[in-house]
Amino acid sequence: MRNYLETKIVSPVEKLLARDAAAALPILDIEVSRTTLHHRKGMVYRVSVNLAWGGRTLHAAQEDEDPRAACDLVEEEIKSEIKKQKSRAFSLEKRGARRAKKDLRLDPAARMYRKGRIRDEGN
């Protein structure tokens, strides 16, 4: 089960966070448990993943009849959470850059000098 968790959850998370790992050390907490001890059928196994990364905490949890199936579902969910956070950070950065560019635009009434003369002077 440990090898399965490493190939299904740990490796993809490491791959997604490869560039950001140097800036903020991610902490991945995986928990595999049974919800009840007396039931033998149904949604008995629960896999939950907590990822503390860059001041944020991402959480994904799934229940299923088989622990491996629950692990597969959690893998998809945590991947989507990571991608959502990364795209959010990128879009916030782009939004800030657009705002800075907008603030740098000059007023139309500003005078632009060219070779000692005022542009659009005369005719």
Going by C-beta distance under 8 Å and a sequence separation of 6 or more, which residues neighbour residue 63? 35, 43, 44, 45, 46, 47, 70
Average pLDDT of the segment spanning 41-47: 86
- Arch. (CATH architecture) of 2-103: 2-Layer Sandwich (3.30)
The amino acid occupying position 6 is: E
Whether residue 116 has pLDDT greater than 70? no
Question: What burial class does residue 75 get, using C-beta atoms within 10 Å of its C-beta: 0-12 exposed, 13-18 middle, 19+ buried?
Answer: buried
Going by C-beta distance under 8 Å and a sequence separation of 6 or more, which residues neighbour residue 7? none
pLDDT digits (tens, 9 = 90+) for 52-88: 887 889 999 999 999 999 999 999 999 998 888 888 8
Distance CA 25, CA 55 (A): 10
